[in-house]
Amino acid sequence: MSENTKQNYLNHPKGIMSWLLTLDHKRIGLMYLFSGILFFFLGGLLALVMRFELAAPGNDIISNEVYNNAYTLHGAIMIFLFIIPAIPGALGNILLPLMVGAKDVAFPRLNLASFYIYSFGALFAMYTIINGGVDTGWTFYTPYSTQSTSNVVPMTLGIFIIGFSSILTGLNFIATVHKMRIPGLTWYKLPLFVWALYGTSLVQITATPVLAITMVLLMLERFLGIGIFDPALGGDPVLYQHFFWFYSHPAVYIMILPAFGIISEIIPVHSRKKIWGYKFIAYSTLINCVYWIFSLGSSYVYFRTICLFTDCFFFYYIFCWNSNWCKNL
């Protein structure tokens, strides 16, 4: 009797422990989804507090200090706890194995470990909220973040831990796409959503380590005063911004590429024809993931030229989507 016959949705173990110890990619994806929804509402609640405060001049609801805390926590929660880890983690875990014809991801236990690493990092963020918040802004720019008396270290430590979850998830997805495809499913037969997740995973494993190192340097700066970002010790506070945006610039694609993949799957269904420009969309997904590397440390003119060049690929996405509705194409 095969393993599929032994265990299915009718006789699958039930109870809380079956969820906490599950290796099923769909269940892990649902746990990512529910966690993401929780943090989405938490971040949205903080946004509502800020909007109500800004509805009229003066401190009507909260003080200036509380507003700075709400602003920082809203950005950090939405970026580092919701959009970046939860969206690929939820959609990727649920859909990727199904779309490539695999029973599960390449490393199911690593998949579960990634979720628990994400949850462990989120605990530090929750501790920051309970313990008074952090007021540096979600980018944690120096020199203020090295001098602030708020809970900078617990929040940056949480982001550091969550980064490992993103890296492991990206590695798992890339291995799944390369090694778990059913026979006959070549690269040019992959759904475009799989291409989008593949590009997202490339960004996760190449850019996230830089964010982790940046958070470690920030904590060392606060504890040991090593002087990397302190001008009085020969450091440069702008260097932190370069490190931070080395990750946060491509992180935009972690947010947008899964959405582009979803759109590229929905439009062919409703237009009842294969997506127009399939190969170019697939290549554009990969090109948009790596172009930012060539713009780092460049002049303003060169940087803008690279950005405009990348915009052409985004325009082509829209062109292909709209072309699917034309009868003669």
Query: Using one digit for the tens of pLDDT, what is the confidence trace for 9-25?
Result: 567 777 788 888 888 89
Mean residue pLDDT of the chain comes to: 84
One-letter amino acid of 256? I
DSSP 8-state code for residue 274: P
Using CA atoms, how far apart are residues 306 and 127, in angstroms rounded to an integer? Answer: 41
Percent of the chain beyond pLDDT 90?
Answer: 29
Mean pLDDT across 234-259: 83
> Which is higher by pLDDT, 45 or 13?
45
Q: What pLDDT does 158 receive?
A: 92
Q: Residue 170 in contact with residue 205, Cβ under 8 Å?
A: yes
- pLDDT category, 74, cuts 50, 70, 90? very high
Other C-beta atoms within 10 Å of 4: how many? 8
Using CA atoms, how far apart are residues 217 and 160, in angstroms rounded to an integer? Answer: 11
SS3 15: coil
Q: Residue 164 in contact with residue 88, Cβ under 8 Å?
A: no
Q: What pLDDT does 303 receive?
A: 63
- pLDDT category, 7, cuts 50, 70, 90? low
Is 243 a residue whose pLDDT tops 60? yes
Q: What pLDDT does 315 receive?
A: 76
Quickly tell me which residue has 């990092």 as its tokens.
121
Task: Enter the pTM of the model.
Answer: 0.86
Q: What pLDDT does 4 receive?
A: 47
Kind and range of the H or E run holding 180: none
Is 34 a residue whose pLDDT tops 70? yes
Is 328 a residue whose pLDDT tops 70? no
Kind and range of the H or E run holding 61: none
Q: Residue 96 in contact with residue 126, Cβ under 8 Å?
A: no
Mean pLDDT across 202-210: 87
Is 178 a residue whose pLDDT tops 90? yes
Mean pLDDT across 255-259: 86
Is 2 a residue whose pLDDT tops 50? no
> Residue 63 phi/psi, 5° resolution?
-80, 175
Using CA atoms, how far apart are residues 137 and 226, in angstroms rounded to an integer? Answer: 23
Q: What pLDDT does 292 receive?
A: 57
Is 208 a residue whose pLDDT tops 80? yes
CATH for the stretch 3-323:
1.20.210.10
Structure tokens given for 192: 């475009």
Structure tokens given for 157: 């430590």
> Which is higher by pLDDT, 8 or 280?
280
Using CA atoms, how far apart are residues 229 and 250, in angstroms rounded to an integer? Answer: 23
Other C-beta atoms within 10 Å of 75: how many? 16
Kind and range of the H or E run holding 276: none
- pLDDT category, 148, cuts 50, 70, 90? confident
Structure tokens given for 253: 């694609």
Sign of CA dihedral 46, 137, 249, 211: negative
Mean pLDDT across 109-138: 90
> Which is higher by pLDDT, 46 or 225?
46
Residues 6+ apart with CB under 8 A from 209: 163, 167
Quickly tell me which residue has 């892990």 as its tokens.
28
Q: Residue 110 in contact with residue 172, Cβ under 8 Å?
A: yes
Q: What pLDDT does 289 receive?
A: 65
Q: Which stretches of the chain are DSSP H helices?
A: 3-6, 16-20, 25-54, 64-76, 84-87, 93-100, 108-130, 144-147, 152-179, 192-224, 237-271, 278-295, 300-323
Q: What pLDDT does 176 receive?
A: 94
Structure tokens given for 19: 């969820």
Is 260 a residue whose pLDDT tops 70? yes
Most confident of 17-21, 213-217, 242-246, 321-325: 213-217
